Each structure stands twice: as structure tokens, then as C-alpha cells.
Amino acid sequence: MSRTKARAALLQELEEAMRRSSAQGVLYGQTVANVAGIANSDLECMDILHLEGRVTAGRLAEVTGLTTGAITGVVDRLEKAGLVRRERDEGDRRKVFITVVPEAAMKIGELYVPLQQAMERVWSAYSEEELRLLLRFANEGYKGVLAATSALKGHLDTPPEKRPDLKMRKLPRRP
Amino acid sequence: MSRTKARAALLQELEEAMRRSSAQGVLYGQTVANVAGIANSDLECMDILHLEGRVTAGRLAEVTGLTTGAITGVVDRLEKAGLVRRERDEGDRRKVFITVVPEAAMKIGELYVPLQQAMERVWSAYSEEELRLLLRFANEGYKGVLAATSALKGHLDTPPEKRPDLKMRKLPRRP
DNA sequence: ATATATATCTTAGTCACTAAGAGATTTAGC
DNA sequence: GCTAAATCTCTTAGTGACTAAGATATATAT
């Protein structure tokens, strides 16, 4: 097999392996939501709150892509479950800040422990230099996917007759 | 900073970077479904069909975790959209095989082109040896997440009083 | 002041999902 | 072979999260 062919095969394997692991990651998240007894997007919001801390309802809508009406429902459910609290902003009384209730949120955090442990087990076999490579890739990959997402969204906003044709993708391997 | 501390910090960065990029991957998938005008799980089924080829309705239910009733709905919608066909198995007439309609499915495949291009741009900066490392990690990571998923599911099946306590997770960094 | 903008919530209606079970076919036990 | 149990898909009724549109309350601009 020629040099560039070997690389092409490697890239295809890589693409498939990443798709598989990413799909499994989604499944893990669904299982967490299931065990926690909350909806999928409720968990997503908990995650955002975990990352960003104190966040307005509007920003949750922005980040999740849900309507503000849907966010009202999300926060209602999370509040009823004791996971978050609403706090009116005193400076601008239209705004509602959502904050996590740490003790309750920790119970959800625990559900990620199996995943963390599994990943730490995997990572333990890598040298620091290798880990740095993985980190670099994770960051660059993130940027790439982000760019691809807005490219695709842009494609959606473009009127059909003006859309540049996307190049064809390989057919299923088992047709 | 000590050697092991540097590594711990690296691991934490890594975890976060992977979470971010994986979340973005989910978003890309949702956008694809949106542009294609089909539901999220409809797209997931298309993906499975793409991977496995000819598949029974029951197997789709198995893989997606949906009920068979829900799969009936999925296949109804996909069939109406001209993306798949139902084919009764002649050997066992209870079974219904689902097959993709290649020409129609290709249109969906095209929506992954921006993602593929972005990833190829990222990968182009890596040596073959580095790509092999990424592939190794993707495969090991997949196995890790898979194991973690069934561990978490097992936790769900265990009666609450018998559940081993999962270790605590770090609190949000911005409390 | 009045108008416009912003932020959240409400309401009505839609759509995908589950649970339970019906219908059709196959497999197993006798 | 015939009956009973098992398997596979579909149907039905009901639920819950979502959207779109607009109501409400507060803030900003002219």
C-alpha cells in the first residue's frame, strides 16, 4: 500500500472511530439523564450552569437553542426537583438568574464518576507529551466542529438556488 | 508546579476540552437533522442503517433504545420522506427489514461534508504517527465510555440500598 | 411622556415518545 | 400435526417537551 493510501485509510478509520465514540458519549449522557430522572435538555442546562455559573434564562435559551418558553419549562422542572433556584436580578428586574443548588447538583455530578474513572484509566497509559497532543487535538477539533456547524447553518440560511453544492460523500460501505 | 500536578492539570483541561468538543458534535448532529427536516432520532436511525446496511425494525429499537412502537413511527416518517423502504423478510414473514434508498440518503450524507472537511483540515497538520495515536485513543476511549455506560446502567438496575456510593466529583469552578 | 426595546412567562397546539396490548407468524412440546 | 408459547411489528391512548405567538413587566431612548 502506498504512503498516501495508508494515510487515507487511517483517516477513514479515524473518522469512524471518532463517530463511534462520540455516539457512545451521547448515549452516556442520555443514561445520566435517565438515572437522574430528568429530561435530556434539563441535564444539558445543568451542564451549562455548571460551566458558566450564574446565568440568565435568556442565555440558557441562547446556548441551548431552545425558545425562551421552553426554558421556562426546563427551569420550572429543575426548580421543582430542587436542582436550581431562580433569582431576580436586583439591577434589572426583568432578568432572572438561574443558579444551581450545590448539594443537589453534586448528586448529578456523581453520575459522571464512572465516565471520569474510565477516561482516567485510559489516560493513565499515555505519557504527558501524548496527552498534550490529545489536548491540542481536542481543542482544534472543537474549533473545527464549531466552524462546520456554522457553515452548515449558513447553508440553511442561504436560499436553495444560491447554495453551493456540497461535495458528495462516500456511500455506505455495505450497500 | 510539580510533575504530577502538571499532569493533573493537563488531565482536567483534557476532560473539559473533550466535553466541549463532544457537546459541539451533538450540536452538529442536531443541525444536520434540522437542515434535513427530520427528527433527531430519525437521523440516528439513518446513521445506523448507513453503518449496518439492512436492519430489522426490532434491531433499530434495540440499538437506539427506543420502543418498537416508536420505531414504527420513525420508519413511517423516513419512508414517507423517501429515505428508506420497508421490505418484509420472505424467510420469516414477521420481520420487516429497513433499507436506505441510496439516492435520497446521499443527500443527507452531503450534510456531513462540512464536518468532514473541517476535520480533514485539522488532521492535515498531523503526522501519520500522531494520527495513529489519535486513532488508538479514539478506540480506547470508545471502549471506556461503553464500559462506563453499562456501569452506570448497572447502577440503575441495582436496588438503591445496595448501590455502592460513587465517589464525589469536583464542584463547579465558579460557584 | 411616549414609544420602542428587552426579558421572561403564558397559552394553545404539535409531535415524538411510552406502555400496553392486538395481530400475524414462527417455534417448541407433546 | 396440533396446541401453546414465543417472537416480531403495529396500533392505540395518553404524556410530556417543544414551538409560535402574544401577554406582562421592566428598561431605555427620543
Length of chain A: 175
A140/B contact by beta carbon, under 8 A: yes
Mean pLDDT computed over A27-45? 94
How large is the greatest C-alpha to C-alpha distance in chain B, in angstroms?
A: 68
Q: On chain D, which bases lie within 7 A of the protein's CB atoms?
A: 7-13, 16-22, 25-28
Mean pLDDT of A5-19: 91
How would DSSP label each residue in A23-79?
A: HHHHHHHHHHHHHHTS-HHHHHHHHHHHHH-SEEHHHHHHHHT--HHHHHHHHHHHH
Query: What's the length of chain B?
Result: 175
A25-45 mean pLDDT: 93
Chain C bases near protein Cβ (<7 Å):
6-12, 15-21, 23-27
pLDDT at B5: 74
Q: Is the pLDDT score of A62 beyond 50?
A: yes
Give me B121's grid cell.
483540515
Q: Does A24 touch chain B (CB under 8 A)?
A: yes
In the numeric block, the cell 498531523 is attached to B126
Average pLDDT rounded to a whole number, residues A82-103:
96
List Cβ<8 Å contacts ≥24 apart for A162-165: none
pLDDT of residue B168: 42
Percent of chain A with pLDDT over 70: 87
The Cα B30–Cα A8 span in angstroms is: 28
Which of A140-144, A170-174, B72-76 shows the lowest mean pLDDT across its residues?
A170-174
pLDDT band at A156 (very low <50, low <70, confident <90, very high): low
Predicted confidence (pLDDT) at residue A164 exceeds the cutoff of 60: no
d(CA A152, CA A35): 33
**Distance (Å) from the C-alpha of residue A94 to the closest C-alpha of chain B?**
23
Q: How many helices (H) and strands (E) does chain B have?
A: 7, 3
Confirm if B118 and A145 have CB atoms less than 8 A apart: yes
Q: Per the CB < 8 Å rule, is B115 touching A17? A: no
Interhelix angle B68-80/B40-52, nearest 10 degrees:
90
Strand A96-100 relative to strand B84-88, pairing: unpaired
B68 touches chain A (CB under 8 A): no
For each successive 10 residues of chain B (175 residues), what is the average pLDDT? 83 92 91 93 95 95 96 98 96 97 93 95 96 97 94 70 48 35
CA atoms of B36 and B42, how far apart (whole Å): 10
What is the bridge-based pairing of β-strands A84-88 and B84-88?
unpaired
More confident residue, A110 or A1: A110
Please give the Cα distance from B151 to B159 (Å, whole number): 14
3-state SS, residue B99? strand
**Complete domains list, chain B, with CATH:** 3-125 (1.10.10.10)
Touching B: A residues 90-109, CB under 8 Å: 100, 102, 105-106, 109
- Residue A172 pLDDT greater than 70, yes or no: no
Asked if B31 lies within 8 A of A156 by C-beta distance, the reply is yes
A51 pLDDT band, cuts 50/70/90, is confident
First-to-last alpha carbon distance for chain A, in angstroms, is: 25
Q: Where are the beta strands (DSSP E) in B10-82?
A: 55-56
Which amino acid would we find at residue B64?
T
- Determine phi and psi for A86, rounding to 5 degrees: -90, 140
Percent of chain A with pLDDT over 90: 78
pLDDT confidence of residue B154: 79
d(CA A131, CA B2): 17
Q: What is the pLDDT of residue A3?
A: 73
Measured distance CA(B55)–CA(B87) in Å, rounded: 10
3-state secondary structure B138-157: HHHHHHHHHHHHHHHHHHHH
> Which residue is closest to A25 within chain B, CA to CA?
B145
Q: Which residue has the cell 456531513?
A: B112
Question: For position B82, what pLDDT does the model report?
Answer: 96
Q: Which three cell numbers stand for residue A22?
A: 462520540
> For the CA atoms of B18, A65, B80, A30, what is the dihedral angle to 10 degrees?
40
Query: In angstroms, rounded to a whole number, what is the distance separating the alpha carbons of residues A19 and B47?
Result: 10
- Concatenating the DSSP letter of every residue in A90-124 gives SSSTT-EEEEE-HHHHHHHHHTTHHHHHHHHHHHT
Cell 489516560 sits at which residue? A123
